Structure 1
């Protein structure tokens, strides 16, 4: 990995010699008594095989479960309410869900003049498994008392918090299909989801009711009741529908213990969730997911990630409306872990809502397990490297030496306990100091960023691949597999086939490895899209054995080890004027590690001969360059200055050459954005995937300018 830290090579020579001597002396004991042999063997062995009767196209199955796919983790546990009931019986008194107490809030003025609301939090408070199970059961009974009919859809439109999981488990117990909506969706998308799913009840927070639901209630005629998860109903609310609190619903359920008698428990084939996507390619699509689908996905994770148990702590901060977070939390609950809740604004000591001098959630919780999307890991990497560049020459040289030494040892399968303790302990403390396993999903993680997280945070990164339509489960890399550049082998609950895509030039007979569109089959594949038979028929199919498959649109390459490498995406492919095909995702992945680039969106028009891009630049580095060039002004003025655009273009060209992009793939013009792309802006999803159509509309005039149009 190119750390791009400028250190004279002569400065490293004495320390390099000492490191070489230390490695030579400790090699044999480490090889005999350490895990190097096991890690090497696991990395090299075939982790998937072709199922009987298959060929280069597959289907490929997990090598340990080649005789059939996993559907459940225990006999009789085929619904989500049964899954949690089993965990509650096994871990009744153990802590389950936790939240931090808000002590006070105050406004803090920034040097820029902006005013941020900062918070001071206390310790975590916990509910044990038995208490969560009881609260969920009372909520299930109480929903009938507040007018929800049996097997009627109910929406959860709420931030990630303990009440989200309590509510959804209650809905599972009562057999009420849950419609999930992202808390960051815009008014049109919320209205669309509520109306299409026909919900009469919605579970939300006071803040979301005030700022997002109230303005659209006149457009959602079927909605009759709002359940608030936090606090008392404010008398200032002029709400045209019935309002009640979560506690009130639970109280009614407790007072009517027979409330559950008229509600049958769910069957495995019953609908559990209608999960609306975050709309990266248009209006949100509701994916119809059964109990059997989710239980199969969680079971696949259960058998792949076995070294997780009651002593572990998971930090929940990603949106629970995203299938990755929902499955991850249900998985860790099935293993008896505790979940402490957080948010992107309170995660670390430097997070935007944390009062200066106080502690972020990871510092207090000290989690051992953590999930993250690649965009968050990319930000962590760039933040750490910015601090490294600020070190004096000697300390910068020592960091680079330690990194290079550990990288070499890591890729041979060896640990570096001394180096971890002396050099990387401080970095590890940024995430609480105890993280021993990270999960990455929602998009491919670059090999360089994955390796950086391995080295600096001293833990494996279990990169996986899946979609909402497959309950987030398709592949996960084994924790001890130290190879990079792939998303792991098929989970025991799924199998993968490749299909020729002639337009892109990918076939299953390609050498050295078969390539093609990734098809995912198994019990974890959803039923289809809600109220959209045409799209369901185009995206899903049944094979001759009655197994359901989903056509992902992603292009993959199956490696000799049975691991899947994602190399392209059909929807990201644009044909230029001269006939060359450009993969926009490939261009973005190649350029994201450029230090000057915090985020990038590549764009190409079929009637033009070159690629352009929009870039969110690194503010600190760009300001330093502006000072060197004598450019002054506001941040917006700096981003619009032609000299700085040219500087960023030169960096893009250098990064493109290093990544071996073709000349026609390298962006020739750039537009620097002075504002970040967040889910709140509507330009990226909650998983930080680019919303290309929204970005194209937002930068329409810039596209016209960069292509020389009037």
Structure 2
């Protein structure tokens, strides 16, 4: 049975009364007892500790003897300020699981610094901590965990087995177990079978911290980067800015050496293509070594090992070169703004030596409303379950053949929750258009996966019908063609008056120049783009890629125009996050489009 990352909170609604059928309402498994409430001012015993930190920051607070080779040495002390910093990180991690003020966390173990820090972390968030004596038996532990509705259990390493024994009967409320020490992979698998996440003390406390640094290059006018940067600021992290020139993007990354990198598919496509070109040029032995290392690490990740546990040896001798290309310190990579191809996500999860997650959101949802879960391989190709402030359901789109009540539910993604906008400024009619019965209609088409993750498969408005009646989901088609190493950008066009597709393609300069050298073609890049044989070569290679990735016959290209100048924001052809602006592209290339259709009909395209 697949591990589930969502829970159903409302049943499906059949069509009727002029309403479309809608699938069940789902939440993230980490929000199964309710969506995360917005932060509120709290008063609790926290005042005692926080006041002492201000008065006595350098005083020794918690001490423990250091044990080496079974022998206890001198006491090692932590100051009030040092403890405070750790407590704040733990408190932040608790809240990230949607454990709100008034909720309950358990602390199970003997006296130690971690016990006190877990207690103070609960106090810092207005959360009630429930002590469990370390001498309690299994029945007593089960009763307290269930009766007190424990959301997160902080547990001494020697007590992990005792907690795991009662997890099957405590899943109604239990979301995570945090060990004072570490977890074995077997113990983690045992808990995760029941939807309970497991963390070592270090992992749980090492979300984004003041030691992190973020590389800022995505447009700040876009909600994605605004939210990420505000979160980094809230954690005291560093933010470094790029020069503003895409040509020097990777150079900026290597100089700054960030720990957090956010990107859109267009950027990750380029990174993926660049790495693969280097692998291909590295010789047969290097290619075989890379592929062996890749397969070995991926197999271990599929067994449940975290990316850093799956193959430390190959990380060091093979994949470290890729990490160095990203500055050498990357530990978290996030993809957003548009769906990322599954093979690219898998590749970066395996090779980047960092945690890689993909999310989905809109300006209307304050950025992220779905986020995939780190180190869960079944999340690849999806945007994960809903975040803890959002509920989601699918609504059928009959004209596109999407049924929210089918065995594989597909339909328009609809949202409601605490972090949605209230409406469009001075646009009441538009607000009414996107809201229905309290549900915000995103315009994006999703598909629920067996594990409760969402997969973005289409865009409601980016679909057209060809003259023979076939529907084309153009973003899916473009995503397939973008997998070709010959392509930097591609815009695919069709309409209901024509029976086939054409495309404007910006080729990769190096790839086209290498083809020209092999085929004794002279001229600069613009002249090569105008060469009929070059057009034929690119068209044939794109169709081979499309066929390999499962595109159907009517989705193949019958003509292409090679554009030497990249699509740009200045020409109003793309958005700041590199999404295509289709009406503007059609207006700009109208003459070329008409010529491609005429040439294709006359058989004058691939020479």
TM-score range, shorter chain: 0.5 to 0.7
Distance 1:601 1:578, change over 3 A: same
Name which of 524, 537, 540 aligns with 1:647: 537
Aligned residue in 2 for 1:49 = 7
**Alignment match, 1:400:** 291
Number of the residue aligned with 2:254? 363
Q: How does 1:8-23 map to 2 (within 5 A)?
A: none
Task: Tell me: CA distance 1:361–1:634, structure 2 relative to 1, closer, same or farther (3 Å).
Answer: closer
Q: How far off is 1:637 after superposition?
A: 1.3
Aligned length: 431
Report the equivalent of 1:199. none
Aligned pairs for 1:366-445 (under 5 A) are: 366-414=257-305, 415-445=310-340
1:596 paired with 2:486, answer: yes
Is residue 2:293 matched to residue 1:327? no
Pick the aligned partner of 1:498 from 376, 394, 399.
394
Q: Please tell me whether residue 530 in structure 1 is matched to residue 441 in structure 2.
A: no
TM-score w.r.t. structure 2 length? 0.67
Asked if residue 342 in structure 1 is aligned to residue 232 in structure 2, the reply is: no
Question: 1:318 is matched with which residue: 195, 200, 218?
Answer: 218
Question: C-alpha offsets along residues 433-462 of structure 1, whole Å, 9 cap, x if unaligned?
Answer: 111111111001111111121122111211
Distance 2:573 2:37 in 1: 37
Q: Secondary structure of the equivalent of 1:321?
A: coil
The whole-number CA distance in structure 1 between the counterparts of 2:460 and 2:385 is 22
Written as runs of structure 1 = structure 2, the 5 A alignment for 1:448-597 is 448-483=343-378, 484-511=380-407, 513-543=408-438, 549-597=439-487
**C-alpha distance in structure 1 between counterparts of 2:505 and 2:42, whole Å:** 52
Shift in Å at residue 344 of structure 1? Answer: 4.9
Conserved? CA contact 2:242–2:249, under 8 Å:
no
Change in Cα spacing, 1:58 to 1:320, as seen in structure 2 (3 Å) is same
Provide the secondary structure at the position in 2 that maps to 1:668.
strand
1:670 CA displacement = 0.9
**Bigger Cα displacement from structure 2, 396-405 vs 590-599:** 396-405
Pair 1:625-2:512 in alignment: no
Q: Residues of 2 paired with 1:320 and 1:646: CA distance?
A: 40
Distance 1:439 1:73, change over 3 A: farther
Return the alpha-carbon distance in structure 1 between the equivalents of residues 237 and 12 of structure 2. 39
Shift of residue 660 of structure 1?
1.0
Q: 1:600 to 1:318 in 2, by over 3 A?
A: same
Preserved contact between residue 470 and residue 550 of structure 1 (Cα < 8 Å): no
Q: Matches of residues 34-183 of structure 1 in structure 2 within 5 Å?
A: 44-54=2-12, 57-75=23-41
Displacement after TM superposition at 1:573 (Å): 0.7
Counterpart CA distance in 2 for 1:362 and 1:619 is: 23
Partner residue of 1:446 out of 338, 341, 355: 341
Contact map agreement 1:473 1:494 (CA 8 A) in 2: no
> 1 CA distance for matches of 2:325 and 2:347?
14
Change (3 A) 1:563 1:353: closer
Alignment partners' CA distance in 2, 1:70 and 1:703: 50
Mapped to 2, the partners of 1:625 and 1:364 lie a distance apart of: 33
CA contact (8 A) 1:318 1:372 kept: yes
Which residue of the partner structure matches residue 559 of structure 2?
A: 669
Q: Distance in 1 between matches of 2:428 and 2:452?
A: 34
**Cα offset, 1:353, TM superposition:** 8.2
CA contact (8 A) 1:473 1:524 kept: no
Contact in 2 for aligned 1:319/1:325 (Cα 8 Å): yes
- Aligned partners of 2:10 and 2:26 also within 8 Å: no
Q: TM-score, normalised by structure 1?
A: 0.58
Query: Residue by residue, what CA displacement relative to the aligned partner does 1:559-588 show, whole Å, maximum 9, x if unpaired?
Result: 121100111111111101011101101101
- Which deviations, in whole Å up to 9, do the C-alpha atoms of 1:622-646 show, x marking residues without a partner? 1111222222112111111111111
Measure how far apart 1:542 and its partner are: 4.5
Contact 1:677 1:683 in 2 (8 A): yes
Q: Secondary structure at the match of 2:211?
A: coil
Could you say what secondary structure the match of 1:377 adopts?
helix
Q: Give the Cα–Cα distance (whole angstroms) in 1 for the partners of residues 254 and 273 of structure 2.
A: 20
State how 1:287-326 maps to structure 2 within 5 Å.
Answer: 307-326=207-226
Matched position secondary structure for 2:440? strand
Deviation of the 1:550 alpha carbon: 1.8
Give the drift of 1:614.
1.2
1:76: Cα distance to partner? 6.4
Report the CA distance shift for 1:343/1:564 in structure 2 as closer, same or farther (over 3 A).
farther
Contact 1:305 1:478 (8 Å CA) reproduced: no
CA RMSD between the two structures: 2.5
How far has the Cα of 1:428 moved from its partner? 0.6
Q: Distance in 1 between matches of 2:29 and 2:248?
A: 45
Q: 1:698 aligns with which of 566, 578, 588?
A: 588
- Describe the shift of the 1:651–1:628 C-alpha distance in structure 2 as closer, same or farther (beyond 3 A): same
Give the conservation status (yes or no) of the 8 Å contact 2:462–2:474.
Answer: yes
Q: Is the 8 A contact 2:12 2:405 kept in 1?
A: no
- Cross-structure match for 2:93: none
Cα drift, residue 309 of structure 1: 2.1
| Offset, 1:661 | 1.0
Shift of 1:343: 4.3
Distance 1:646 1:615, change over 3 A: same
**1-side partners of 2:326 and 2:453: how far apart?**
29
1:230-249 superposed matches below 5 A: none
Report the Cα distance in structure 2 between the residues aligned to 1:551 and 1:580, rounded to whole angstroms: 25
Highest RCO, 1 vs 2 (Cα 8 Å, sep ≥ 6):
1
Matched, 1:684 2:579: no
> Which residue number in structure 2 is paired with residue 80 of structure 1?
none
Q: CA deviation at 1:306?
A: 7.4
Decide which structure has the larger Cα Rg and report it.
2
The structure 2 residue matched to 1:638, chosen from 501, 513, 528, is 528
Larger displacement relative to structure 2 (51-60 or 597-606): 51-60
Q: Secondary structure at the match of 2:457?
A: strand
Residue 608 of structure 1 deviates from its aligned partner by 0.3
Contact 1:495–1:521 (CA<8 Å) still a contact in 2? yes
Q: Give unmatched runs, 5+ long, in structure 2.
A: 14-21, 44-49, 58-203, 602-607
Distance in 2 separating the partners of 1:409 and 1:602: 39
User: Runs (4+) of structure 1 moved beyond 6 Å?
Assistant: none
